[in-house]
Structure 1
């Protein structure tokens, strides 16, 4: 090869290497997300929209670390095995920088274990079981939404004010329902030692035999009922309970029922006076929520659901963590998320260094059938930081790292 050709070839090679380096430096930050889109569409369609809005806002502001953000989602079919396989594909083939997602608690636990095994950063956005940050917690896993403990702790003071002795409880028989039921019983017993749980019904998720469950609860003659059902199971339970008079003269405390995903479909069957956790989007007047609502409505011509807030806040959490870490490196992200603060549509949230749990709170209020439309009234926002066990208790519950 003569000198002229050699120099030309060298210039081409150098330019190619520079281009490759620039692409590597300027390539997108990839967020891998796994969820049960086909199985739980009521929550997860708005959730995905919330994520998309957050990504759009971040990219419009210049991205993260000078790079665009790309969201890559996978459906887990409501199956923990499929979720782990999807996560593996995202990490090994798609080369995502971080993982987030999960709706069902059993899937959240499977991804929590995956993160531990692969030493890969995972933000559990939605699953609520306490085990994600306590018994099965690990340094690679953080969680956004208020847990079953936190939501039970918000509801128990209201339940105790009712001064009802005989309680029945109904919950879906999988990790979230079991965790919520156990925590509610534990905390109510501590607040009201004379309480009795006279009936327990735990139907399989999505397979509620409403007639037999409602009849069994009625036969126990409770003074009050704690309900942990959601989605289609909740709708069937409410319909059958209304038909058979289960709720007449009885107080009901109900986790998640005030979320628009589950309250809206009840329409004219909405019961009055249930004490619930939820999301009264139509009445929140804080500046951060107004800004979120307007941006969401402008993009989708729809009102947000709780899933919208969770999806949006999950992406914003990752953005805040990556910005603080100045990197997508797992170890640097772990350090950055310890005590990480960010502003969500519900106000400030902090990721607790004690257990990697966010302090995002929830609204507690009562259901009202407003001319055939389910709404929340008399609601108040409760800061999740105030509904946690002591640091000493957390230390006992969480494995040493």
Structure 2
């Protein structure tokens, strides 16, 4: 009897184990990499965004009936660590695709890994144009509007300013270099009378704001392009306010209207800067209302732009997987090229020609309200309206 019970128990154990394995086999894993420990102001809301997306996707039946699981890793802001994380996700976790990254140099490192290993990669945040153009590859797609797109949106307003003498301030790494280069190119095309009188290149995350402000002031520009963000932006604004750098000067600034960068400025927020950002409090569309309601219900907090990016990254990944009906990288690429889908900002499409999504951005001006920085006079700019022609893209992007 004991022997019989033992074998029955063993049989049940094997059956249960088989069922568990079968259930696990039904999961679809996505690998996610980001600079959580280095840039929490953006990445924590970003994580909340993608976690909300996973919850919604699985509540609606998953991906073709399979549960979606996201396996996340922190790259610590180091390209080499990001590539190590990517390798672990692919070789040990068996993920169907890679997503994420924030810093442009890290996005390029993971894109290069994806190209070498033939793994689908959906870059969430890195903004350098190289991701989809000069260093683009068939395995890499990008969600956020690129430097070119945001520069084109800002130039539309900046070119109407009377200022002729311009200075630039930007972090000295891939993102900052790319943003300045494309802004200067597009601005000079619209305004050949522009003079570029000074460039300041502080190290990312380590700005010494005093000398930077002093050097720009000495050049006596009529307008300033700023690309600094995060803690560097706070230091720059504080020092610039103290020394009167911004008084009587126009300022155009990438990303400054995003809550994660605007909120820390508090009552020091300079007014009248032309910025890209995310005025979540003034967007009145059905798509955004639905996202905002779900986000606030889950987290009892307001979203940042990182929340939108994280949410839409995983929603996009799920849409690609669902259309492909497979985790084969070649089928994922075929499914993603030209795929349209909803987003909190309206419908977006991943272009076949360069794998760039048409997600847009809001452009407006900074203002102070109740001792806090906000965006005013903002309007949404559709990404598709701020991209170069297909003929130009073909010159910029290498053949796969």
Asked if these proteins are the same fold (TM beyond 0.5), I'd say yes
Q: Distance in 1 between matches of 2:117 and 2:192?
A: 44
What is the SS of the residue equivalent to 2:347? strand
Q: CA deviation at 1:32?
A: 0.5
Partner of 1:237: 236
Q: CA deviation at 1:282?
A: 0.3
Q: Distance in 2 between matches of 1:254 and 1:138?
A: 30
Partner of 1:92: 91
- 1:205-230 superposed Cα distances (whole Å, 9 cap, x missing partner): 01100000000000000000000000
Q: Distance in 1 between matches of 2:17 and 2:350?
A: 39
Gap change, CA 1:166 and 1:93, over 3 Å in 2:
same
Q: 1:270-285 alignment to 2 at 5 Å?
A: 270-285=269-284
Partner of 1:132: 131
Q: CA deviation at 1:182?
A: 0.2
Q: CA deviation at 1:372?
A: 1.1
**Are 2:383 and 1:376 equivalent residues in the alignment?**
no
Partner of 2:74: 75
After TM superposition, what 4+ stretches of structure 1 lie above 2 angstroms from structure 2?
15-22, 24-27
TM-score scaled by length of structure 1: 0.95
Partner of 2:328: 329
Partner of 1:290: 289
Asked if the contact 1:26–1:66 (Cα under 8 Å) also holds between the matched residues in 2, the reply is: no
- 1:166-220 superposed Cα distances (whole Å, 9 cap, x missing partner): 0000000000000000000000000000101000000000110000000000000
Q: Distance in 2 between matches of 1:248 and 1:24?
A: 63
- Report the RMSD for the aligned CA atoms in angstroms: 1.8
Gap change, CA 1:231 and 1:18, over 3 Å in 2:
closer
Q: CA deviation at 1:157?
A: 1.4
Q: CA deviation at 1:117?
A: 0.4
What is the SS of the residue equivalent to 2:85? helix
Partner of 1:162: 161
Q: CA deviation at 1:370?
A: 1.1
Partner of 1:207: 206
What is the SS of the residue equivalent to 2:77? coil
Q: Distance in 2 between matches of 1:17 and 1:113?
A: 41
Q: 1:44-63 alignment to 2 at 5 Å?
A: 44-63=43-62
What is the SS of the residue equivalent to 1:347? coil
Partner of 2:358: 359
Partner of 1:149: 148
Q: CA deviation at 1:26?
A: 4.6
Partner of 2:194: 195
Q: Distance in 2 between matches of 1:182 and 1:319?
A: 34
Q: Distance in 2 between matches of 1:53 and 1:21?
A: 26
Q: Distance in 2 between matches of 1:17 and 1:301?
A: 39
Q: CA deviation at 1:97?
A: 1.0
Q: CA deviation at 1:326?
A: 1.2
Q: Which blocks of at least 5 consecutive residues in structure 1 are unaligned?
A: none
Q: CA deviation at 1:20?
A: 6.5
- 1:310-360 superposed Cα distances (whole Å, 9 cap, x missing partner): 000000001111111112211111000011111111111100001000000
> Structure 1 stretch 114-123 or stretch 25-34: which is displaced more?
25-34
Gap change, CA 1:25 and 1:149, over 3 Å in 2:
same
> Structure 1 stretch 356-365 or stretch 317-326: which is displaced more?
317-326
Q: CA deviation at 1:17?
A: 12
Q: Distance in 2 between matches of 1:72 and 1:249?
A: 49
Count of residue pairs brought into register by the alignment: 393
**Are 2:48 and 1:66 equivalent residues in the alignment?**
no
What is the SS of the residue equivalent to 2:102? coil
Partner of 2:245: 246
Partner of 1:318: 317
Q: CA deviation at 1:371?
A: 2.6
- 1:367-397 superposed Cα distances (whole Å, 9 cap, x missing partner): 0011310000000000000000111111011
Q: CA deviation at 1:24?
A: 6.6
What is the SS of the residue equivalent to 2:159? helix
Q: Distance in 2 between matches of 1:227 and 1:160?
A: 15
